[in-house]
Amino acid sequence: IAAGMRYLAEAGFVHRDLAARNILVDAHLVCKVSDFGLSRALDGDRDSDPTYTSSLGGKIPIRWTAPEAIAFRTFTSASDAWSYGIVMWEVLSFGERPYWDMSNQDV
């Protein structure tokens, strides 16, 4: 998963929907990142911190999205790294829902 996300970051893209539900696992336990429907090309040069800023009104997966990406609707490879942490939590908790019974508003 990390190698796939590194590839996306180096190619100048942000996934924005990294979650266990979007990881495909084959018979040899090789994982592949999937569902690129929310993916976007990052703006800016590679020497600065490339970002993608979404317009208001678009849906974002609250439980998997970094707090600063929710607050400012600005996505970077760092916000994908936050999502990767949530994916690892999903894996290690055997598929539990992130933030259990909290509402999206509370998250």
DSSP state of 38: T
Q: How far apart are the first and last CA of the chain?
A: 25
Check: CB of residue 75 under 8 Å from CB of residue 54.
yes
Contacts of 58 (CB under 8 A, 6+ apart): none
Give me Rg for the CA atoms of the chain. 14
Annotated catalytic, 17? Answer: yes
Catalytic annotation, pick one of 17, 35, 49, 80: 17
Which sequence positions are flagged as catalytic? Answer: 17
